[in-house]
């Protein structure tokens, strides 16, 4: 069996927000106690020591609180934020973790309830921009490879009051500013920035719903398209829009835009399940075929678990233990998916009919003997 870093997965990343997740849903409160970011860092460091992951990622808000009155507290050595960032970095460095992506939370604070970069209020757009700058500086401090824009609350419920003439210009301005700020400040840790599309949730409709929309926007509307890629969330976000993960990675690779993967499992056409990879009633074949496609294409990159444990398995009496188990399960699932993908050999299927090729790929994937067909 291939080790994770001999195939297409260069690093396995465990983001702060997935480990810290207290398992709230719209019908019930937190199952797990909220834990401090230092505690989250220690759990991820544990996972790195155990050999389950090599990288992490975070939103600004996962690491330190944000106070709109102090937009530059990260630069002030006397601020608690400044100190906390250093404590966090010491834990991650000691564990040898690299930092995949930093992303600005423009969804958590209720100020941004009607959008971040596309908020119709210019004062809130200005505030969002300052928060993005601070996040970019924090990412620089951690040596992040990417800055990620997740579409988040940039969306709508009421089409009649969206400023359709301006809304995509505001979005392009906000993303162009990410590039300009990184270049002006000479933050050369960043190899690029990404857009993470999602069709809905938290908004009824979001302005960049799918990977196709994201690529179109990058190539057609941004000033520096070469700097921007996409991190699709598969299976979740594309499955919510009834799209297929295999096609998504094939398309993004052909457009040279697949920066890294957010990874988990999903029931098609549902709300954002964020099931851990391979967990749940569907998704096995799609997940495995996605890795077959990535292998055949020759893509290599980071796979980041962007999901959370099932709410039903959160254990308030062992809230650290169940969080560790979640990481272990996700890494195990990735290992299973890669091992199954390794068995599938498209070259051996080429001369078969489509149905025979599909069935044979299942026989290969499961390492089955051919079943007996006759009595």
Within positions 15 to 44, which residues make up the interface with ligand XLS, using CB under 6 A? 17
Phi-psi region of 51 (alpha: psi -120 to 50; beta: other; left: phi over 0): left
Sign (positive or negative) of CA dihedral 273, 195, 185, 123: negative
State yes or no: residue 233 binds ligand XLS (CB under 6 A): yes
How many other CB atoms sit within 10 Å of the CB of residue 131? 22
| Options 17-25, 110-118, 167-175, 259-267: segment touching Mg ion (CB under 5 A) | 259-267
CA distance 46 to 269: 35
CB 132 within 8 A of CB 138: no
Cβ pair 211, 197 in contact under 8 A: yes
Residue 12 or 262 with smaller CB distance to ligand XLS: 262
111/94 Cα distance (integer angstroms): 36
If binding is defined by CB under 6 A, does position 131 make contact with ligand XLS? no
> Among Mg ion, ligand XLS, none, what binds residue 213 when CB lies within 5 to 8 Å by partner kind?
none
> Looking at beta carbons only, is 73 or 306 nearer to Mg ion?
306
Min CB(193)–ligand XLS separation in Å? 13
Site for ligand XLS in 290-329 (CB under 6 A): 306
**Interface with Mg ion, residue 274, by CB under 5 A:** no
308: contact with Mg ion by CB under 5 A: no
* Residue nearest ligand XLS, CB atom distance: 150
Q: Return d(Cα 209, Cα 207) in angstroms, integer.
A: 6
Q: Which of 73, 154, 286, 306 binds Mg ion (CB under 5 A)?
A: 306
Query: Within 130-159, which residues bind Mg ion (CB under 5 A)?
Result: none
262 binds Mg ion (CB under 5 A): yes
Nearest distance in Å: CB 196, Mg ion? 5
Nearest approach in angstroms of CB 110 to Mg ion is 21
Written in H, E and C, the secondary structure of 267-315 is CCCCCCCCECCCCCCCCHHHHHHHHHHHHHHCCCEEEEECCCCCHHHCC
The DSSP element (H or E) to which 12 belongs, if any, is strand 9-13
Q: State yes or no: residue 262 binds ligand XLS (CB under 6 A).
A: yes
Q: What are the residues binding ligand XLS (CB under 6 A)?
A: 17, 59, 103, 150, 196, 198, 233, 262, 272, 306
């Amino acid at each position: 069996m291939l080790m994770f870093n001999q195939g297409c997965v260069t690093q396995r990343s465990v983001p702060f927000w997935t480990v810290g997740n207290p398992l709230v849903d719209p019908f019930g409160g937190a199952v797990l106690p909220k834990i401090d970011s230092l505690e989250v860092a220690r759990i991820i460091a544990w996972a790195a020591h155990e050999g389950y992951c090599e990288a992490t990622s975070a939103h600004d808000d996962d690491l330190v609180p944000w106070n709109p009155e102090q937009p530059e507290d990260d630069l002030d050595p006397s601020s608690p934020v400044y100190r906390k960032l250093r404590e966090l970095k010491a834990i991650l460095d000691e564990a040898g973790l690299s930092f995949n992506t930093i992303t600005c939370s423009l969804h958590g604070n209720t100020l941004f309830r009607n959008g971040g970069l596309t908020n119709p209020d210019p004062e809130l757009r200005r505030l969002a921009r300052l928060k993005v700058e601070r996040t970019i500086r924090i990412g620089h401090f951690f040596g992040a490879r990417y800055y990620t824009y997740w579409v988040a609350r940039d969306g709508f419920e009421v089409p009649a009051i969206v400023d359709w003439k301006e809304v995509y210009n505001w979005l392009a301005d906000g993303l162009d500013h990410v590039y300009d700020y990184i270049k002006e400040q000479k933050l050369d840790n960043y190899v690029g920035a990404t857009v993470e599309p999602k069709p809905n949730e938290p908004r009824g409709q979001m302005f960049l719903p799918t990977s196709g929309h994201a690529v179109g926007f990058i190539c057609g509307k941004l000033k520096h398209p070469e700097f921007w890629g996409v991190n699709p969330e598969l299976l979740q976000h594309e499955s919510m829009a009834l799209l297929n993960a295999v096609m998504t990675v094939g398309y993004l690779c052909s457009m040279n835009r697949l920066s890294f993967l957010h990874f988990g499992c999903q029931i098609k056409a549902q709300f954002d399940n964020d099931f851990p990879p391979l967990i749940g009633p569907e998704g096995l074949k799609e997940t495995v075929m996605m890795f077959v496609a990535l292998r055949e294409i020759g893509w290599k990159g980071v796979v980041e678990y962007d999901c959370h444990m099932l709410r039903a398995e959160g254990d308030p009496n062992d809230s650290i233990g169940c969080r560790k188990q979640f990481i272990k399960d996700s890494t195990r699932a990735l290992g299973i998916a890669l091992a199954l993908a390794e068995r599938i050999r498209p070259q051996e299927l080429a001369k078969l009919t489509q149905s025979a090729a599909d069935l044979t790929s299942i026989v290969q994937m499961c390492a089955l003997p051919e079943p007996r067909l006759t009595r």
